[in-house]
Structure 1
């Protein structure tokens, strides 16, 4: 996580309504964290060798680059409307949207983007840019989904992985700046194997299993009360599928936080099945947290 002083909240825009929702969310988030907001548009047309200047003899306000300038200016104005006094800047960067935002992530406090953009197919629940940025970004990625709520808990999914510890820490910070409760959720469906290639037991004792699942939830919460003393913490261990459990929790949450890749995911996956599932189905904004390294 890029927590250096002055690191901006970066929001990606493309002129779509989901992008404007992301701008409003990003403006509020930047104000909460006392950070500047940077509005960024990935301008792909020069890479495709498409003329971007006004056509000869056409109006001076024509051309693709002028259109991009207008949509960035509109997004900056919307952010300033939502959060008066916030430091907001806008920039057009030549490149494909996901690549531009991933590049921004190395110095950003967080990246915020809409769940779908102008280039997405109407039938897709989640756009490809959101998936790519969540998979590769070097900072937390916030996807503006569902219903923004001023109240309710910050929900974090815990699965015992290293990334879930990072997710818990980020969720606790979010709960602190929002004055919200932190609700840590661990969902399980069956006994776990102890390592790669191990067989799952055919017979197991439910009480012992429940104790093991309780420990998985408790471990990453160690020290949270000391680091964030004003944040109430509740814990929940649920027998069920993680995506379904977190989706249900999202119906009353301000925010759901998940690790980019969880325990048991294939090593080659940059974005795990649980994080993808939550991004597709959550009823509130979702944060995907990657390794802080």
Structure 2
């Protein structure tokens, strides 16, 4: 999707780190960077007698200008050639970013903040944006391994195909290798990753299941290998618990890409448990890509 890279800022250290990542992403895409700042508390959390744009004793203009000036400074320092614009909106930040995402190629947010976009992974904001946004959402977490691969969580679902394409494109933009990791266990036949011991033998033919999971991985990657021949791909099939295996693999990655909902998702569920776990616990930035399947 063409369009700008948007980044939500609230002046927190996390959101300013997200600005730097977003500027880098915009440079890779030769796209505009749009810095989005929303001010105002949700009505349910607004202190009595306080205007929705008030922030302590700071004036609105000084607060907004200070936040945006620092964000623009960070963006320019990281990618001076990128055209940068501002979008300052009165409104609940969650809805503001969702609306902004309709014309964006990528949305970037920090993992924690002051309020506005703050507490992303402590509350439901990142989950909501990943489930309801109109473009891929990148949540900036911890410090990625700069020389690491782009890590793709392959689930083989039709909805996950968009994530596969995004990961190949991102690896090409970064000139990075792609590690395509498909984690399976004996619950895979039931598309289930829940309590119990998924490593125990609950199916008759483990070898047959392993072969089926290998085919699933190969078939998910095959069409994208042809489109991105420059990307070095390492397919990896691992028998393990899904969430812990992906989280551990993220330690050595520069970016983790996952679909919003995989084979185990319930009908109508917009964000699966694996995606939510990665948003909360991965050791590198996570991009959630919604599919149409």
TM-score greater than 0.5 by the shorter chain:
yes
Q: Deviations over 1:164-215 (max 9, x none)?
A: 211111000000010111111111121444699xxx9944111111101101
| Equivalent in the alignment of 1:205 | 205
Aligned mates of 1:76, 1:18 — CA distance in 2: 15
Matched, 1:44 2:40: yes
Aligned mates of 1:53, 1:195 — CA distance in 2: 49
Q: Deviations over 1:201-233 (max 9, x none)?
A: 944111111101101211111222220010011
| Equivalent in the alignment of 1:223 | 223
| Equivalent in the alignment of 1:147 | 143
Q: Is the 1:146–1:284 Cα contact (8 Å) retained in structure 2?
A: yes
TM-score with structure 2 setting the length: 0.87
Matched, 1:103 2:99: yes
| Equivalent in the alignment of 1:116 | 112
| Equivalent in the alignment of 2:247 | 247
Q: Is the 1:110–1:142 Cα contact (8 Å) retained in structure 2?
A: yes
Matched, 1:178 2:179: no
Distance 1:125 1:105, change over 3 A: closer
Aligned mates of 1:74, 1:29 — CA distance in 2: 18
Q: Is the 1:260–1:288 Cα contact (8 Å) retained in structure 2?
A: yes
Distance 1:191 1:129, change over 3 A: closer
- Is the deviation greater in 270-279 or in 111-120? 111-120
Gap runs ≥5 in structure 1: none
Distance 1:174 1:128, change over 3 A: same
Q: CA deviation at 1:124?
A: 8.3
Q: CA deviation at 1:269?
A: 2.2
Aligned mates of 2:191, 2:152 — CA distance in 1: 25
2:36 is paired with a residue whose SS is strand
TM-score with structure 1 setting the length: 0.87
Aligned mates of 1:222, 1:10 — CA distance in 2: 31
Q: Deviations over 1:133-174 (max 9, x none)?
A: 112111100000021332111111111211221111100000
| Equivalent in the alignment of 2:195 | none
Q: CA deviation at 1:292?
A: 5.2
Q: CA deviation at 1:261?
A: 0.9
Gap runs ≥5 in structure 2: 193-197
Matched, 1:8 2:9: no
Q: CA deviation at 1:66?
A: 3.5
Within 5 Å, which residues of 2 pair with 1:60-71? 63-71=59-67
1:223 is paired with a residue whose SS is helix
1:257 is paired with a residue whose SS is strand
Q: Is the 2:144–2:252 Cα contact (8 Å) retained in structure 1?
A: no
Give the total of aligned pairs: 280
Aligned mates of 2:206, 2:125 — CA distance in 1: 42
Q: Is the 2:39–2:53 Cα contact (8 Å) retained in structure 1?
A: no
Aligned mates of 2:217, 2:266 — CA distance in 1: 22
